[in-house]
Chains A and B, each alone.
Chain A
Amino acid sequence: MYEEVILSHYRNPHNKGTVSAPTSSVHKSNPLCGDSITLSIVESDGIITDIAFEGEGCVISTAAASLLTDYAKGKKKEDLMKLDASFIIDLLGIELGATRLKCALLPLEALQVVCNSL
């Protein structure tokens, strides 16, 4: 599970921090493990032009946030709303048990809440 690519996103996460002048932001947490994420985005004409995340997370949730924010940049809001668990599993490229899947899905949940709020 702790593959080099995952660990590299954990050690040096992409899009960590905040965007300037966010259109919207959201805070989500996983009550089971205390992971939490704040996601902020800049949207223009239905397209996510910038995105960043902050928070305290495990390797899996941090790597998922790093990879997902990379992916989301430049994508249409409605396309992002269609993403599901299998997309995240493919993105991470590792097998996940039921408990860790919740960690992996937290960034996606946050992304979809924030897209929905636009």
Chain B
Amino acid sequence: MHNIKSDFPIFEHLPNLVYLDSTATALKPRVVIEKLTEYYTQYSANIYRGLYRISEKATQEFEAVREHTARFINAKPNEVIFTRNTTEAINLIAYSLGRSIIQEGDEIVTTIMEHHANFVPWQQLAFENGVDLKVVDIDDEGNLQSLDTVITKRTKLLALTAISNVLGTINPIKDIVKKARTLNPEIIIILDAAQAVPHMKLDVIALDCDFIAFSSHKMCGPTGVGVLWGKQELLQQMPPFLFGGEMISEVSLEKTTFQNPPQRFEAGTPAIGEVIAFGAALSYLESIGMDTIRAHERQLTRYALERLDQQFGDDIRVFGPQNEEDRAGIVAFRFRTVHPHDVAQILDQSQVAVRAGHHCAMPLHKRLQVPATTRASFYVYTTEEDIEKFIKALQNVKEVLCTRK
């Protein structure tokens, strides 16, 4: 890959920044920032109803990104709904579809490795309707255990993540979906792809889930934009989630009729400029190539795991699959008995940005029997040199906190 860092203006301001928190949010390339500025400086009008040129230009740019997003995941444009983020996309399904189909005696299945965004909405749906929430466990390596004995004819919804945001585990979604549909042909499958779509090619037809959710800001795009993809026949049956402007067909004092998807689920003025700039992020990732991105991260992950082991041995405990083929560029760890907050703080003194805490996955941390972990994560702009600086900074942690004085 060419010198990717030069595409990201933040490195001009902070040349020594070692940014290892892309799982939380990705840095933004110049082309995305420029596209955002282009909208705000050249055609910052509202979309759909304006009969003047700049409104039509904005509408055209906005809808072009819907088409682009669809191409990016091999879907149809009318199946792509823009939300605020992955969390809102999942809540949309839980509120709209979930609350209209869940009945007494049903079950909802999810997994222990979910981000709270794909756990709490289902837990609350289960509580409200008095149905069972079943949670698939992991094995000691951090791989999902078999769903064979969990999914039954009563399982109405299966909500799971494509990649764990802590363990880095890449779940075998194609196999899981196939198996789940054999066990229960009526099952509806929701995939949290927030950690997958930014890092590898994802084809919604090939995966055969019913819904897939992800966020722009984790894939070099602006904050405030999420994507919900859903199968058209399901979207057609679903009642609106939010009511208001843009999503109606006709309103009278007696009743309101609603638009077809996707507009039915996009009430109010969306994040217009941010969606348009998200299009530039998609183009940027395509210009590098999703397979190249995946290969780069796989190589970095192997490098990081080897170097951490070499340098720190038993001082460090890395969670998740130890083989880089089965994991994304996410390395969550414990360093001796040092609190992850202190690890992160000392790394920050060397301008190494990592995250510490439970990473919105408290049930998983409870399962791992640790209150918190420190997490380093990689993306297109991460280099082996960054990992070396990270290791050097970890050595500091040892010197500051683990040497008796």
Contacts and interface: CB of A to CB of B under 8 A. Distances in A.
A105 B362 CA distance: 22
Contact of A11 (B356, B358, B362, B404): B404
Interface stretch (B2-10, B89-97, B336-344): B336-344
B341 A2 contact: no
Contacts, number: 51
Interface string A1-27: 110100110110000000000000000
B337 to A, nearest CB: 9
Contact of B342 (A11, A36, A58): A58
B177 interface: no
A98 interface: no
B345 A32 contact: no
Contacts of A7: 400-401, 405
B371 A59 contact: no
Contacts of B372: 33-34
Nearest to B370: A34
Interface residues of B, number: 18
Nearest to B400: A2
Interface string A93-109: 00000001001000000
Interface string A62-83: 0000000000000000000000
B346 interface: yes
Interface in B352-405: 356-358, 362, 365, 370-372, 400-401, 404-405
A35 interface: yes
Contacts of B365: 34
Contacts of A57: 339
Contacts of B342: 2, 58-60
A34 B400 contact: no
Contacts of A36: 371
B339 A59 contact: yes
A84 interface: no
A33 B357 CA distance: 5
A17 to B, nearest CB: 18
B365 to A, nearest CB: 7
A59 B345 CA distance: 10
A8 to B, nearest CB: 8
B404 A34 contact: no
Interface in A30-54: 31-36
B373 to A, nearest CB: 9
B25 to A, nearest CB: 16
Given A2-B346, A33-B357, A59-B401, A103 B371 contact: no
B341 A33 contact: yes
Nearest to A1: B345
Nearest to B339: A58
A32 B339 contact: no
Contacts of B340: 33, 58
Given A2-B346, A59-B339, A100-B341, A33 B405 contact: no
Contacts of A2: 342, 345-346, 400-401
A10 B129 CA distance: 48
Given A57-B339, A100-B345, A34 B401 contact: no
A99 B357 CA distance: 11
A2 B358 CA distance: 23
A34 B358 contact: yes
Contacts of A33: 339-341, 356-358, 371-372
A56 B371 contact: yes
B341 to A, nearest CB: 4
Nearest to B346: A2
A11 B341 contact: no
A1 B400 CA distance: 11
A67 to B, nearest CB: 17
Given A7-B400, A34-B371, 18 more contacts: A1-B345, A2-B342, A4-B405, A7-B401, A11-B404, A31-B362, A32-B357, A32-B358, A33-B340, A33-B372, A34-B365, A35-B339, A36-B371, A56-B339, A58-B339, A58-B341, A60-B341, A100-B345
18 contacts: A2-B345, A2-B401, A7-B400, A10-B401, A11-B404, A32-B358, A33-B339, A33-B341, A33-B372, A35-B371, A57-B339, A58-B339, A58-B340, A59-B339, A59-B401, A60-B342, A100-B341, A100-B345
Interface of A: 1-2, 4, 7-8, 10-11, 31-36, 56-60, 100, 103
